[in-house]
Amino acid sequence: MKRRRFLASLPAAALDAQPAQGGELVLWYNAPSKLWTDALPLGNGRLGAMVFGGVSSERLQLNEDTLWSGFPKIWNNPKAKDHLAEIRRLVLEAEDYAAADKLCAKMQGPYNQSYQPLADLRLEFSGLPAPSGYRRDLDLDTAIASVSFSGHRRETFVSAPDQVIVTRITAPAGSLNFTIAIDSPVRSASTTEGGDTLVLRGKAPAHVDPNYYRTPNPIRYDDTEGMGMRFEARAKVLAEGGAVKADAGKLRVEGARAATILISAATGFRGFKRVPDLSAEAISAAARKHLDAAARQPYNALKARHIADHQRLFRRVSLDLGKPVSELPTGERLKAFKAQPDPQLLALYFQYGRYLLIASSRPGTQPANLQGIWNESVRPPWSSNWTTNINAQMNYWPAETCNLAECHEPLFDLIEGLAENGRNTAEFNYGLKGWVCHHNTDLWRQTAPVGDYGKGSPTWANWNMAAPWFCAHLWEHFLFSRDTEFLIHRAYPVMKGAAEFCLGLLVPDKQGRLTTCPSFSTENVFITPDGKTAAASAGCTMDLALVREIFTNTIEAASLLGVDAEFSQQLSTALSKLAPYQTGARGQLQEWSKDFKEREPGHRHMSHMYPLYPGSEFTVRGTPQWAQAARRSLELRLEAGGAYTGWSRAWSIAFWARLEEGTKAHEGLAKLLELSTGPNLFDTHPAGQGWIFQIDGNFGAAAAIAEMLLQSHAGEIHLLPALPPQWPTGSVKGLRARGSIEIDIAWSAGKAISAELRPSKTGPVSLRAPRNQRIKAVLAGTSPFSLSPRPGGSIEARLLAGRKYRLEFS
């Protein structure tokens, strides 16, 4: 059914699509990648490939998104809640925060598991001509990575419709000679089958400790059934001309004109609640099914279907940030950015963020983890898990605004799983109803605090506010789509559970106001009045913000659906008693309920500013005093060296966008490219002397760029709210605003010249023109449309679904 739809919808152009030879949507290089972090990523949400582009050796590093260590287990700590009353006494009465930290550690469970690499496919070529004119590239518009030199050409893509990785190799004059081998850093063995297929079978470890946790035996394999997950990868070679032979565990292609390699993979994952494994036969059958079906297709049909499927998502948004267009290879462009204007590099970075989301998160797959789906290591940084105190959420910041709402779906599936497991943790750790999730989770949807029963720092391990933060994604998806079915069946039940937990968590402070305790400002610590360092306190600003938000949204959702009036009343009463936000001695938005001295004033986390972004409680016009206080906090953080990781920088850019400071936002983007971006435009995170890849900054910065061009969080659609002077002329097409509206905007000399709105739901909107401009007319087709001006400069209009509206400005 799905396949038929794709075939029918193939645009003629897709069939002839040729890889781009440069231009605005291509990352390109004139040398092979030396490191994994130079290679180019491809993916279909489930299968991932990093293409190295070597001359005589090619490496495709492969991933499958359900291949994780471990299995579901009991991770709730039955003794956890025994400590809660004493922790609260220590914080709220004794104000002995350091002692509270020690007890918090006793509420922890085990560390969670690690995302695993699948395999490496290795090609060794012989008899190649001397390489001249070498080039490798990744065309974001076709999602094809190519390598070419001296008439030799390879192109690789990962097809979503056909669920295979495809590499095609062509060479002049029938001269292709190469071997293919497959191996994996995970325990496994490879064989050949039928003379043209390589098969790798393995089993993931039963346990992998996080890379930051020092233990004598961090990777533990176990042959017992279910103690770890089986997997299989298959690679089949179809040669044109010449011959393919199995030879000492490898395949050898000799004298071919061209060859196509198809790769498929499957694992024994049966869902987060079930112990793996499927039988080896069932896994093999799943991997074979896709491979055999793909092998019956001509290469061009696979390629055309892949391109059409990708472009259906990718081409919804285009961004042109004006001239000049650099001719340099991408790595050099990146280095030159500081000295030489190159606005289109930021357009490329933005589109790369959208590309990476399409490649790592599709309906039915796992959500994008810390590295999307690309990981070469058995002990990847921070387990390549979902870190839920910013990173997992940041991955999805661009999903709605950048018109990839269906790529948001895997996150909703994750949230529903957490809501299920999190009920037990709420009961075990706090004796509460509803659901809770702490700061890390994995394929098995662990919701308990990590830390190996007391060895983790409570600063991060005991933070317990992932549930309300995740629920913001469900609510936002509703605001963007106005999909009531989604609200009824998926969002509301989960939101209600998170609100129930938060309601139960609230306790009175000394002034009788409701607060959270213990409370952690994500990963940050303060200096106690007696000079100690501590993490646990009560009512951190972020907790208050998340509680306010989940209560407010749940009340609104319940009222829209006409349900749970009594529960809503309880939430409203609690809201009216909630401890307030405060400003500190420096005019900053206070991070903790007391104006504690910070241990690290330039800390990368800035969670107290949540209500500015991604929340929407603080707005420049609606709550100017809080917008100003948040701005002061941001300035203080940046002055003290903050935003030193890619994701933190991306967050700071989004803050500046929400503060409508285009120049500052652009400064942040320039720093992001200079300090936190690798040659393949992967976002980086400092690690010891070097850096590692972490994908959140890619997504966060793409979302921030969208936020510079269009905002719709403050009850109005604001066009070009933070356009920087570096982008005087340009256009954006296909961004999305809340209310289910697609929007195009064109500007010149820093002023909007036209815009188009395409609502898919009927409803009222308020529209705000860019600073110092006015909306002169709204035209539906050719007929003028009546406008009602509103105090404060925005105008109101009622838009009808399916119509197009053109805006003119003065």
- For the bound state, the minimum distance from the C-beta of residue 258 to ligand FUC, rounded and expressed in Å, comes to 43
- For the bound state, the minimum distance from the C-beta of residue 371 to ligand FUC, rounded and expressed in Å, comes to 10
Pick between residue 214 and residue 296 the one whose CB is nearest to ligand FUC.
214
How many residues touch ligand FUC under the rule CB under 6 A: the total is 11
Cα separations (Å) of 742 from 478, 481, 498?
Answer: 15, 11, 31
Pick between residue 518 and residue 700 the one whose CB is nearest to ligand FUC.
700
Q: Which helix (H) or strand (E) holds 768?
A: strand 763-768
- Quick one: DSSP state of residue 178? E
Per-residue interface string for the shown chain with ligand FUC, residues 202-231, x marking contact by CB under 6 A: ------------------------------
Beta bridge partners of 797: 765
Contacts (CB under 6 A) with ligand FUC, residues 304-343: none
CA 697/CA 422 separation, integer angstroms: 28
- For the bound state, the minimum distance from the C-beta of residue 356 to ligand FUC, rounded and expressed in Å, comes to 17
Q: Which residue reads 């489930």 in tokens?
A: 46
CA 502/CA 69 separation, integer angstroms: 32
The CB density around residue 632, as the number of other CB atoms within 10 Å, is: 16
Contacts (CB under 6 A) with ligand FUC, residues 672-711: 685, 694
User: In the set 168, 310, 496, 604, which binds ligand FUC (CB under 6 A)?
Assistant: 604
Per-residue interface string for the shown chain with ligand FUC, residues 28-47, x marking contact by CB under 6 A: --------------------
Q: Is 671 helix (H, G, I), strand (E, B) or coil?
A: helix
Helices (H), 30-178: 84-88, 97-105
Pick between residue 288 and residue 608 the one whose CB is nearest to ligand FUC.
608
Pick between residue 461 and residue 706 the one whose CB is nearest to ligand FUC.
461
- For the bound state, the minimum distance from the C-beta of residue 179 to ligand FUC, rounded and expressed in Å, comes to 38
- For the bound state, the minimum distance from the C-beta of residue 382 to ligand FUC, rounded and expressed in Å, comes to 4
460 binds ligand FUC (CB under 6 A): yes
Nearest to 109 by CA among 538, 441, 351, 361: 441
387 binds ligand FUC (CB under 6 A): yes
CA 779/CA 783 separation, integer angstroms: 6
Pick between residue 604 and residue 713 the one whose CB is nearest to ligand FUC.
604
Residue type at position 189: A
User: In the set 459, 645, 731, 773, which binds ligand FUC (CB under 6 A)?
Assistant: 645
Judge whether 514 and 505 are in contact, CB under 8 Å: no
User: In the set 29, 157, 337, 382, which binds ligand FUC (CB under 6 A)?
Assistant: 382
Supply the angle between the helices 565-577 and 541-561 in degrees, to the nearest 10.
Answer: 150
Pick between residue 146 and residue 387 the one whose CB is nearest to ligand FUC.
387
- For the bound state, the minimum distance from the C-beta of residue 650 to ligand FUC, rounded and expressed in Å, comes to 11
442 binds ligand FUC (CB under 6 A): no
- For the bound state, the minimum distance from the C-beta of residue 211 to ligand FUC, rounded and expressed in Å, comes to 11
Pick between residue 80 and residue 392 the one whose CB is nearest to ligand FUC.
392
- For the bound state, the minimum distance from the C-beta of residue 456 to ligand FUC, rounded and expressed in Å, comes to 11
Pick between residue 691 and residue 727 the one whose CB is nearest to ligand FUC.
691
Contacts (CB under 6 A) with ligand FUC, residues 271-300: none
Judge whether 601 and 640 are in contact, CB under 8 Å: yes
Residue type at position 385: N
Judge whether 765 and 796 are in contact, CB under 8 Å: yes
Pick between residue 370 and residue 609 the one whose CB is nearest to ligand FUC.
370
Q: Is 698 helix (H, G, I), strand (E, B) or coil?
A: helix
Nearest to 766 by CA among 708, 803, 713: 713
Judge whether 719 and 768 are in contact, CB under 8 Å: yes
Pick between residue 350 and residue 382 the one whose CB is nearest to ligand FUC.
382
Pick between residue 461 and residue 503 the one whose CB is nearest to ligand FUC.
461
Record the tokens describing residue 622, joined without a space. 């609606």
- For the bound state, the minimum distance from the C-beta of residue 112 to ligand FUC, rounded and expressed in Å, comes to 12
Record the tokens describing residue 757, joined without a space. 């709105």
Per-residue interface string for the shown chain with ligand FUC, residues 389-408, x marking contact by CB under 6 A: --x-----------------
Pick between residue 106 and residue 685 the one whose CB is nearest to ligand FUC.
685
Query: Which backbone phi and psi does 430 adopt, to 5 degrees?
Result: -130, -10
369 binds ligand FUC (CB under 6 A): no
User: In the set 347, 359, 370, 620, which binds ligand FUC (CB under 6 A)?
Assistant: 370
CA 28/CA 30 separation, integer angstroms: 7
Pick between residue 239 and residue 370 the one whose CB is nearest to ligand FUC.
370
Record the tokens describing residue 376, joined without a space. 């070469």
Nearest to 235 by CA among 143, 118, 91: 118
478 binds ligand FUC (CB under 6 A): no
Beta strands in 82-183, from DSSP E residues, in sequence order = 119-125, 135-139, 144-149, 152-159, 164-170, 176-183
- For the bound state, the minimum distance from the C-beta of residue 651 to ligand FUC, rounded and expressed in Å, comes to 11
- For the bound state, the minimum distance from the C-beta of residue 422 to ligand FUC, rounded and expressed in Å, comes to 20
- For the bound state, the minimum distance from the C-beta of residue 310 to ligand FUC, rounded and expressed in Å, comes to 29
Residues 6+ away with beta carbon under 8 Å from 784: 777, 778
- For the bound state, the minimum distance from the C-beta of residue 201 to ligand FUC, rounded and expressed in Å, comes to 32
User: In the set 139, 376, 409, 523, which binds ligand FUC (CB under 6 A)?
Assistant: 523
- Quick one: DSSP state of residue 658? H
Q: Which helix (H) or strand (E) holds 797?
A: strand 795-799
Per-residue interface string for the shown chain with ligand FUC, residues 114-153, x marking contact by CB under 6 A: ----------------------------------------
Cα separations (Å) of 143 from 135, 167, 355?
Answer: 16, 13, 8
Q: Could you tell me how far CA 28 lies from the centroid of its own chain? A: 24
- For the bound state, the minimum distance from the C-beta of residue 542 to ligand FUC, rounded and expressed in Å, comes to 14
- For the bound state, the minimum distance from the C-beta of residue 694 to ligand FUC, rounded and expressed in Å, comes to 6
Judge whether 422 and 467 are in contact, CB under 8 Å: yes
Contacts (CB under 6 A) with ligand FUC, residues 707-746: none
Query: Which backbone phi and psi does 318 adopt, to 5 degrees?
Result: -130, 150
- For the bound state, the minimum distance from the C-beta of residue 370 to ligand FUC, rounded and expressed in Å, comes to 5
Pick between residue 696 and residue 707 the one whose CB is nearest to ligand FUC.
696
CA 42/CA 378 separation, integer angstroms: 20
Residues near ligand FUC (CB under 6 A) are: 370, 382, 387, 391, 460, 523, 604, 645, 647, 685, 694
